Structure 1
Amino acid sequence: MATSATLTTTHLSTFRNILDEWHQNRLKTTPTKGFLVPFEELQQSPKKDALKDVIVAFRTRPPLPNEAAEKFHADPDAQDAAETEAAPVEFCSGITVTSAEPGVFFAHVPGMKWSGPTLTHKPYEADLAFGPDIGNEEVYQRTVVANDMLSLVLSGGVGCILAYGQTGSGKTYTMESVEHRVARDLFDQARMVGKRLVLAQGGAEASDTEAGDIFEFNVTFLELLGKHATDLLESTEEVDAQGNPVRTEIAVREDKVGNVRPNLISSVIRTSEELEELINKALSHRRTSATLRNAASSRSHALLTISIKNKLLPYADEGQLILVDLAGSERHEDSKDHDKQRMEEARDNNKSLMNLKECVRAKAKMAAEDGFVHIPWRSNKLTMLLKPIFDIESRQPSRAMIIAHVSPHIQDSVHSTNTLSYAAPFKTIPPKPRGPAPYDAEDPRTWDHAKTVEWLTAQFTAQAMKSRQADYNVRARSAQLAGKKLKPLEPPAPGQLDLGVDVAKICPEGERAKNLGMLYTPQFVQRCLEARVGEAMTVDKLKMVAVEIIGKLFYLILTAKTKKRNEIMKSRKKLVVDDAYGDAPRREEEYDEDEFLEAQIFWGTDWQKTVIAAYEQWKAEGRDWTNVGYPQTVESMMMKFREHKAAEAAKEEVYDEGNPEGKEKEEAV
């Protein structure tokens, strides 16, 4: 049985001895593992699992000076309380990092048995594990930079970073550092991506390109307190009884086309300094309240959303970077002194966190399976705001990073296990390699290189024919105005149509449609610009054509995935029904489903009463109900139903014969 923080402090010396013995035994067999790549070489080393949809990281902070003595106290009624009170309460670690990458945390959970205090050592796995000696810069580099989050959002994808954990475990400290470092690096990264696009279309030199010339950045900052959403960028002087600012509530719902876009203040930013200033302003407006675990605990979820529009590719999807500092979770011992309003806030926060857990777990499962996986993102306002991450019908590539924070103290180990148990299932193992899928002309994932080149050639040919026809129509119209008539447009000779691009450069040897489908839209456009030949298409025309073609490819892939999931779902439902109930024991060759349903409606509740009565009688007599009794009972009721239908039909016929005038009027109408 797990112990409370007070009882753990009472037996702290015993737990410390048990923990020291465990450390010694562990180091004899399993040394502590560090990160695969040293921090100094991190930026030059590609990350193997950078393409994972969900990345999980654990983090624990160092203890603060005098924190253990101020927050934890012994039980005054315990037998050895006098000894404990005589000695000062010192820090005892409740978390041990045994491996940094892949990450492994051991939570040391105190317990009590008849023989005395005990410790249970529970392991939890993640992609990364940050111990108390890891600084914010390294956390940022190994999460955001190593997983290419900035390039993802600048290329039209959606990136999301969530900080979760117990109140006072360091979530806000981590997220604020990530937000400020994103502000520091975002514009430099945008400048690099923009330079490549400009050079690919033969534009200005790289040194002449600014991030603001290529991208437009819009920022919103939303606070979700329980069920109520407000805008952190709204200025107000009105305050409530606790001294928190009172703001207008924002509605969170889907619009006509299915987008979730709250009516927030959207600020256009052009420099890192402007973004830094906006973040500081919004964070100063966030609600905080004192709790037993934290004097300035964040009582709400804060969502910073940076939307990025590519001016060079106006038809491409907007990228989004969503940084979420979740409200701190609390156990009953830490929240029992809350007032009614605070308890309601804690309840709503816990509901939203549970909904978020289901959505993230489903997304991680979907990434590892080909079958249908339902993501219940409409269940809560928090997950609705994160729709771009969870919507399975979205064409945008997305990536989510979960950073679970735990307290370093052994008195908080029980809560730490809850946090780690919440986040650990999000970690997914890459699917095992499978054999090649059977060829499907409608599924680009099964195409080989030749088929991919053929499809691309057909797409560019269609665009070239469309342009050729448009030019002819213009010339024909001009000739008609001049009183002349042009000859009909003849189809081009084989190999004479100028496509404007070298398809072999867009899809080099060895690549397939599946590889092209993994590219971001700007990357595909860049390939097309680099493959441009001749003057058949202008740069602007080629960019529009490239966006349209890659959009068609994305649509084919999405349609094939949806079709596959639907087929799996249908087969799964059929299998479950057949295994559970078997085939219906009635002779379906004598009547179809529509007639059978019509008969049940006619009989109403008498249908089931008759079947149940017959079942009891046949079972009591020991006769075969399934193969004989049930078919006979149903057949008897079906015969009576048919007799009733025949009698009704005869009445209608008699009525029609005796009233021919009415029948003629009815037919006329």
Structure 2
Amino acid sequence: MATSATFTTTHLSTFRTILDDWNENKLKAGATKGFLVPLAELQQSPPNKDALKDVVVAFRTRPPLPNEAADKFHVDADAKDAPVDEEGQVPVVEYCPGITLTSAEPGVFVAHVPGMKWSGPTLTHKSYEADLAFGPDIDNEEVYQRTVVANDMLSLVLSGGVGCILAYGQTGSGKTFTMESIEHRVARDLFEHARVVGKRLLLAQGADSAAETGDIFEFNVTFLELLGKHASDLLESTEEVDERGNPVRTEISVREDKVGNVRPNLISTAVRTSAELEELINKALSHRRTSATLRNATSSRSHAMLTISIKNTLLPYADEGQLILVDLAGSERHEDSKDHDKQRMEEARDNNKSLMNLKECVRAKAKMAAEDGFVHIPWRSNKLTMLLKPIFDIESRQPSKAMIIAHVSPHIQDSVHSYAALFYYILLCNANSRTNTLSYAAPFKTVPPKPRGPAPYDAEDPRTWDHSKTVEWLTAQFTKAALKRRQADYNVKAKAAQLAGKKLKPLEPPAPGTLDIGVDVLVICPPGSTAKNLGMLYTPQFVERCLAARAGKLWEVDALKNVAVDVAGNLFYLILTAKTRKRKEIMKSRKKLFVEDTYGEAPRKLTEYDEEEFLEAQIFYGTDWQKIIMAAHRKCKEEGNDWEKEYSKTTDEMMEKFRAHKATEREEKAAEGETEVSHDD
């Protein structure tokens, strides 16, 4: 049986003794596993297997603060077994760990959950696994390096992809501290990283490295706050405040537009330097709504979403990259929230509903990465997941990666909060329901898809093409573009000749093997490479390859970039179509649901009376219709007759009376009509 924080504090000495015995056995079993690569060597090491995942999960716990246990947790002085010192006073509560790190990579946390059995207090040790786990001695810089940097999130978003980092956890567990540090470190590194990528792209198209600065990206920032069901702009300036002192802002609608994009009407601010982005973040965070709880004096009561949109000016028609940083609202157990007012309860309940929807979406996305079949991602079910559509929309062509950092409190009094199975009902005043940080986050963890051998060749699926087929397709794409360019040049010359009073000969098809397509296809797709490998490239990387493969004078740099973007789009479309084809086949082959399949056939079939007449009769009888049917059913049951026959007989009698009534009405109307005609005559 799970226990309250007060009960745990009252029996803390017993739990501490049990925990000491567990730790002693743990030491005998072996030392704690650390990270696979030391922090100093992280930059030089190759990407780990987690870099291939769509969803990466990390656990983190913070160190206890000075006097935190004594300030937050209290002994039940009225309990029979309440601890007392030599003077008969309740002793000061001291810190006792509720979380133990047993492996950093892969990450393993053990939650020590207090309970009560007939024999007395007991501890249950529940183990949870993630991709990474950060203990209380890990600082923010290492967390940033091992999550954002090690998974190459900045390169992903600078290459037109979507990266999302979410911080989840109990209020007071340190998630806002982590997320704000990540936001400031992103501001520190993003622009320098962008200049490096920009220089490399400029060099690929023949620019002078000494003259180019690499400033080819444009950055725009929005900062949204979602409080319950209400969204607002954290960058909006306002002087009006509510009764709690929080600023009152205009509510922002969150919905899809006509083409399916979710773009709230937020203030978008262009930033050019790290200092400008830092200032913007600080300004927005100062506007975020907070409120005191039993666990945190300044608990975040809302989801805060920082979105950095990145546009490559060299590729104006390519998809914009997005980096989405989300500090989710703090979750609370019943003990923390029972004193909330009605408004706070409703806001917290909506927040936790959105967390439930988020969990379902992330789990579905992780499942989709590991399976070939159709997986439904219910991102439309909540405003929070709608705002995260770029990482959940299976129709999107942009590569994406989601990072979940789940935070848990270090105190044993909060272990129930860290492990228990439910969180959806926590603010519905159900004392038996608790948030589950580790159980919430652990199912997100998936492994890369298992190898299933080579897929059979499919002419419509580029993922099954070999090198020769890929070269053939690329050659056909650039040949088509070259012929179009050749025709356009001829049309210009023909127009000029016509103005001069001349006429050019018709353009003849080029001789086989003589058409210059302007690129060396083997540079784009070297031996050993296939369409599947090209499909894993970001659009700017594919364009970079095409620029490096430029040959002859057919294409200017800008023209070749546009052609390369078109070819990449065609390839990605074929891959996307192949991925969704199976899903569409499943949807088309689904059996239609008929009423009879679920509820069975009606007691009688309407062969003599059509449905419209039958419904008209029911309206005519009103409530008497059901009364007559029920009376007939009782009589049938008493006499033991066949109800189907009795039902037919009863409805036939009522329908005959209804038809007779309709016939009388028609006769009366006809008589009235004849009378009127005679009177007129």
Aligned counterpart, 1:209? 212
| Contact in 2 for aligned 1:370/1:565 (Cα 8 Å) | no
Distance 1:568 1:102, change over 3 A: farther
Q: Could you say what secondary structure the match of 1:50 adopts?
A: helix
- 2:291·2:301 contact (CA, 8 Å) conserved in 1? yes
Greater helix share, structure number: 1
Contact 2:77 2:90 in 1 (8 A): no
Aligned equivalent of 1:150: 154
**Correspondences of 1:236-635 after superposition (within 5 Å):** 236-417=238-419, 418-569=436-587, 573=590
> Do the aligned residues in 1 keep the contact of 2:226 with 2:302 (CA within 8 Å)?
yes
Measure the CA separation in 2 of the matches of 1:208 and 1:302: 40
Q: Secondary structure at the match of 2:407?
A: strand
Question: Do the aligned partners of 1:371 and 1:569 also contact (CA within 8 Å) in 2?
Answer: no
Measure the CA separation in 2 of the matches of 1:599 and 1:558: 52
Structure 1 counterpart SS, 2:50: coil
Q: Give the structure 1 partner of residue 26 of structure 2.
A: 26
User: Which piece of structure 1 moves more, 266-275 or 246-255?
Assistant: 246-255
Check conservation: 1:58, 1:103, Cα contact below 8 A. Answer: yes
CA distance in 2, matches of 1:597, 1:550: 60
CA contact (8 A) 2:497 2:504 kept: yes
- Structure 1 counterpart SS, 2:223: strand
Q: Distance in 1 between matches of 2:348 and 2:290?
A: 13
Change (3 A) 1:604 1:466: farther
Q: Structure 1 residue 8 and structure 2 residue 8: aligned?
A: yes
Selected match of 1:178 from 160, 176, 182: 182
The alpha-carbon distance between structure 1 residues 198 and 598, as it changes in their structure 2 partners (threshold 3 A), is farther
Deviation at 1:87, TM superposition (A): 2.7
Are residue 75 (structure 1) and residue 79 (structure 2) matched?
A: no
* Aligned 1:104-115 pairs, distance under 5 A: 104-115=108-119
Give CA-to-partner distance per residue, 1:420-466, whole Å, 9 cap, x none. 01110000122211121111111111111111000000000000000
The answer to whether the 8 A contact 1:308-1:319 is kept is: yes
Partner of 2:651: none
What TM-score do the two structures reach when normalised by structure 1? 0.86
Aligned ranges 1:100-139 → 2 under 5 Å: 100-139=104-143
**Measured at CA, do residues 603 and 33 of structure 1 come closer, stay the same or move farther in structure 2, by a change above 3 Å?**
farther
Change (3 A) 1:517 1:597: farther
Secondary structure in 1 matching 2:84 = helix
Matched, 1:58 2:59: yes
Question: TM-score with structure 2 length normalisation?
Answer: 0.84
Contact 2:58–2:404 under 8 Å retained in 1: yes
**Number of the residue aligned with 2:165:** 161
Given residue 43 of structure 2, which amino acid in structure 1 is its aligned partner? Q
C-alpha distance in 2, partners of 1:474/1:331? 74
Instruction: Show structure 1 runs of 5+ residues with no match.
Output: 586-595, 622-669
- C-alpha distance in 1 between matches for 2:444 and 2:337: 27
Residue 375 of structure 2: SS of its match in structure 1? coil
1:482-538 deviations in Å (ceiling 9; x for gaps): 111111111111111111100000000111111100000000000000010111100
CA deviations on 1:45-89 (whole Å, 9 max, x unpaired) are 122220210000000000000000110011122112142754321
Partner of 1:195: 199
Task: Give CA-to-partner distance per residue, 1:258-282, whole Å, 9 cap, x none.
Answer: 1111111110000000000100111
Code of the aligned partner of 1:36? L
- Counterpart Cα distance in 2 of 1:32 and 1:604: 76
AA partner of residue 436 (structure 1): P
Say if 1:290 and 1:553 are closer, same or farther in 2 by CA, change over 3 A: same
Q: Does 1:97 align with 2:101?
A: yes
Question: Is residue 226–residue 300 contact of structure 1 (8 Å, CA) maintained in 2?
Answer: yes
Shift of 1:569: 4.9
Distance 1:297 1:452 in 2: 55
- Counterpart check, 1:218 vs 2:189: no
Distance between the aligned counterparts of 1:231 and 1:180, measured in 2? 20
Identify unmatched segments of 5+ residues in structure 2: 420-435, 618-628, 642-681
Distance 1:260 1:388 in 2: 9
Partner deviation per Cα, 1:272-299 (whole Å, 9 max, x = no partner): 0000010011101111111111000010
- In the superposition, relative to structure 1, how do residues 17 and 570 fare at CA in structure 2: closer, same or farther (>3 Å)? farther
CA distance, structure 1, for counterparts of residue 163 and residue 334 of structure 2: 34
- For residues 636-658 of structure 1, the C-alpha deviation after alignment (integer angstroms, 9 at most, x for no partner) is xxxxxxxxxxxxxxxxxxxxxxx
CA positional deviation for 1:602:
8.9
Structure 2 match to 1:630: none
Cα displacement string for residues 77-127 of structure 1 (whole angstroms, at most 9, x for unaligned residues): 211214275432111000001010111110000001111110000011100
2: CA distance, partners of 1:327 / 1:600: 57
Residue aligned with 2:24, SS:
helix
Q: CA deviation at 1:204?
A: 2.4
1:129 positional shift: 0.3
CA distance in 2, matches of 1:78, 1:527: 74
Cα pair 1:95 1:409 within 8 Å, conserved: yes
Distance (Å, rounded) in 2 between the aligned partners of 1:61 and 1:405: 8
Paired residue type of 1:511: S
Write out per-residue CA displacement over residues 383-436 of structure 1, whole angstroms, 9 at most, x where no aligned residue: 111110111100000000000000000000010111101110000122211121
How far, CA to CA, are the matches of 1:424 and 1:30 in structure 2?
A: 24
* Residue identity in the other structure for 2:233: D
What root-mean-square deviation, in Å, do the aligned CA atoms of Structure 1 and Structure 2 show?
2.7
Query: Within 2, Cα distance between the matches of 1:91 and 1:433?
Result: 47
> What code does the residue aligned with 1:175 have?
M
Residue 227 to residue 602, structure 1, CA distance change in 2 (3 Å): closer
Q: Which amino acid in 2 is paired with 1:19?
A: L
Provide the residue aligned with 2:423 in structure 1: none
How many pairs align? 602
User: How much does 1:604 deviate?
Assistant: 7.6
Match of 1:642 in 2: none
Q: Runs in 1 of length 4+ with deviation above 4 angstroms?
A: 568-571, 596-606
User: What's the secondary structure of 2:529's corresponding residue?
Assistant: coil
Query: CA 1:600/1:405 → structure 2, altered by over 3 Å: closer, same or farther?
Result: farther
Q: Which amino acid aligns with 2:140?
A: N
Corresponding residue SS for 1:268: strand
Query: Following the alignment from structure 2 to structure 1, what is the Cα–Cα distance between the partners of residues 49 and 142?
Result: 18
* Displacement after TM superposition at 1:570 (Å): 5.3
Tell me how far apart the structure 2 counterparts of residues 570 and 246 of structure 1 sit (CA, whole Å): 49
Q: Deviations over 1:613-639 (max 9, x none)?
A: 9xx9xxx99xxxxxxxxxxxxxxxxxx
Residue 203 of structure 2: SS of its match in structure 1?
helix
**1:132-179 C-alpha deviation (Å, 9 max, x unpaired):** 000000000000000010000000000000000000000100000000
Q: Which amino acid aligns with 1:134?
A: I
Check the 8 A contact 2:10/2:83 in 1, yes or no: no
Q: Partner of 1:15: helix, strand, or coil?
A: helix
